[in-house]
Structure 1
Amino acid sequence: MTRVTLLAGGVGGAKMAEGLAALPGVDLTVIGNVADDDEFHGLWVSPDIDTLSYSLAGLIDRRQGWGVADEGHRALEVLARLGQDCWMSLGDRDFGLHIWRTMRRMRGDRPSVIAADAARALGVGPRIVLPTDDRVQTRVRTDAGWLSFQEYFVREKCAPEIRELRLDGIEAARPTPEALAAIAEAEAIVIAPSNPLVSIAPILAVPGIAEGLRQARVPRIAVSPFIAGKVVKGPADRMMAALGLRADAVGVAERYAGLADVLVIDDLDSAHSAAIAARGLHPECRPILMRDQGDKQRLAAEVLEIARMLAAREEVA
């Protein structure tokens, strides 16, 4: 078995997790983003962790990429009738998980234990661990002021121009022992093709996580979320451009310099290879679009093959 640790958030992260989990001989641990978490209708909701859990359990709504398939929204209809603001779409079975999670949190259980118990109950094989048990939340500053990430992403549909990002609570956050162990014990570390700013950066910002990656003496492979200068899903390209960052594979390389050895980019971005190498990462060109399970497994297998080649070179050296 090859111990693989994946840093992931959002739909792209869940797809990468599905691909790795389907490969024989892979012992997978996923460190998921918790900075998208927020409270709705008195319940604590963990969108990225739930997307990972639902995807790996085979329960995800494939059409929209999040939530549970074949879902109803009767609870939300009642809340709307009672005058509640219901822009955050939560399905009936999804509500069940949020109720249970909130009950456990109110009881004082560690969020990491809650996430692990939920994944186990849903039938998830890989381990899903949290980077921190503390409350860390992404905030987005627009011309209208500060918004929570879900307000920006869901309610405003990513329309406002971004002026600034911040992570509330990061100064006091402590890494979980599970996350630190997942990095220290990994034989390969993969950064998923997730949004570098709001999915991966909050994980890396937790004290000890980025340091663990820098010190790791195992292959570290990042996968770009960009294809020909555009992301497949989500606002990463617009967010990076709005903040004055390069919104392409080179911009991703700049974010992960010192944290990854290789950046896997799409064949359509091969012209960026020299610029990526100049940032200290070795570029590997592959078709990275994950349209179905076959694509997910193929890309995951190619990422691990790159990791094995890196490890072999280290042994020779």
Structure 2
Amino acid sequence: MNMQRAASFRGPPVVALCGGVGGAKLALGLERLIGADLTVIVNTGDDFEHLGLHVSPDIDTVVYTLGGLSDLERGWGRADESWNFMEALGALGGETWFRLGDRDLAMHVERSRALRSGISLTEFTVATARRLGIAASILPMSDDRVETMVITAEGALPFQRYFVGLQCAPVVKRLEFSNAERAAATSQVLAALRNPDLAAIIICPSNPYLSVDPILAVSDIRRALDEVTAPIIAVSPLIGGQAVKGPTAKIMAELGVPADSASIARHYRFIDGLIIDETDRAEAGKIDMPVRVTSTLMRSLGDRDRLAADCLEFASHLAAGAQRRTAT
């Protein structure tokens, strides 16, 4: 990782908006390129209390990924995990539908202890990232509770019941983000978004509806994005009409939205540019904003680095174009 570069030279800051697995891959590539110049604002609409513990799935995925601890095969949780706790819990008749590995359990126990002692989620996350040697700043979108509720044909479901418990099977009618209108962005999040030296905001290829919309539902964040002068770009999570992982295309179909890059651009109507995969090159002309076509599939570490570099170059290109238009 480019920790030495980040320590010896600070460039213009970059902010990434991020959900879990797919977003964390790009966040890792960005951190490897720009280190401490990166701030990752992470969705907490997935957070919930389970077995008396505060679980923050997206934050933990980002922390484990950037900290080199993630399970690359499963795409979530820690590597070299064991499951003794879950086996013992099941033997006692406890809930086992949401699996917490033995190593992962340490994070939830310590976070819950910290929150009960009065430490904020932001303070805990920042301290944990620092302890794990992560150069980038990882920030929860809010220290206030926001709960993603999936309104389905079978009724309202808390996010984890829909996503993990029912494996995304119910038909989605709409999504609600409970308490988002009252939740406040932290001073750290607002400082990152309002930094006058900001080079770019990058929306990672996370699920727009389940992972990014909860961040945008926090009114402080949405207002700050409206005031940003740096380029805002998004990476489409779709390749050939399908998501690499997760139910993005399924949800779009159920909401009556075409699963294509033009729909992603319309969903993120406030952005300045969209990055799409080479598979979808023919769609570029249908998108009413600047488009960069590249390979967005991130199978390897090199893929993550390459896409991160493409994002930074695209943002720089958009910024230069805006400066030229201002000058003329």
TM-score by length of 1: 0.96
Number of aligned positions between the proteins: 313
Residues 179-205 of structure 1 show CA distances to partners (whole Å, capped at 9, x for unaligned) of 111111122110000000010000011
The one-letter amino acid of 2:137's match is R
Listed as ranges, the gaps of 5+ residues in structure 1 are none
The letter of the residue matching 2:173 is: R
Asked whether the 8 Å contact 1:2–1:26 carries over to 2, the reply is: no
Determine the C-alpha separation between the residues in 2 that align with 1:139 and 1:161.
Answer: 13
The answer for the alignment partner of 2:209 in structure 1 is: 197
Selected match of 2:226 from 178, 191, 214: 214
Partners of 2:42 and 2:252 lie apart in 1 by 21
Q: Deviations over 1:119-152 (max 9, x none)?
A: 1222221000121111001111223221111111
Q: What residue number does 1:286 align with? A: 294
Q: CA deviation at 1:26?
A: 6.4
**Equivalence for 1:146:** 156
Q: Is 1:114 aligned to residue 114 of structure 2?
A: no
d(CA) in 2 for partners of 1:25, 1:16: 13
Alignment partners' CA distance in 2, 1:302 and 1:17: 13
What is the alpha-carbon root mean square deviation over aligned residues? 1.2
Give the drift of 1:24: 4.6
The Cα shift of 1:82 comes to 1.1
Q: Deviations over 1:225-262 (max 9, x none)?
A: 0001110000011011111222221111011112x101
Q: Distance in 2 between matches of 1:83 and 1:66?
A: 25
**TM-score with structure 2 setting the length:** 0.93
Same amino acid, percent of matched pairs: 45
The residue type equivalent to 1:184 in the other structure is: R
Counterpart AA for 1:313: G
Secondary structure of 2:292 counterpart: strand
172-181 or 229-238, larger mean C-alpha shift: 172-181
Higher mean C-alpha displacement, 15-24 vs 289-298: 15-24
Deviation per CA, 1:248-298: give whole Å up to 9, x if none: 21111011112x101000111122222211xxx211111111111100000
Which amino acid in 1 is paired with 2:148?
T
User: Which amino acid is 1:203 matched to?
Assistant: I
Q: CA deviation at 1:314?
A: 2.5
- 238-247 vs 225-234, which moves further: 238-247
Structure 2: how far apart are the matches of 1:119 and 1:17? 14
CA shift, 1:224, in A, is 0.3
Q: CA deviation at 1:313?
A: 2.0
1:272 paired with 2:272, answer no
Structure 1 residue ranges, 4+ long, deviating more than 4 angstroms after superposition: none
- Confirm whether residue 161 of structure 1 aligns to residue 181 of structure 2: no
Amino acid at match of 1:274: G
Shift of 1:17: 0.4
| Distance in structure 2 (CA, Å) of the matches to 1:222 and 1:288 | 11
Measure the CA separation in 1 of the matches of 2:154 and 2:164: 16
Q: Take 1:247 and 1:43, find their aligned partners in 2: how far apart are those partners?
A: 36
SS of equivalent to 2:37: strand
- Gaps in structure 2 of 5+ consecutive residues: 1-10
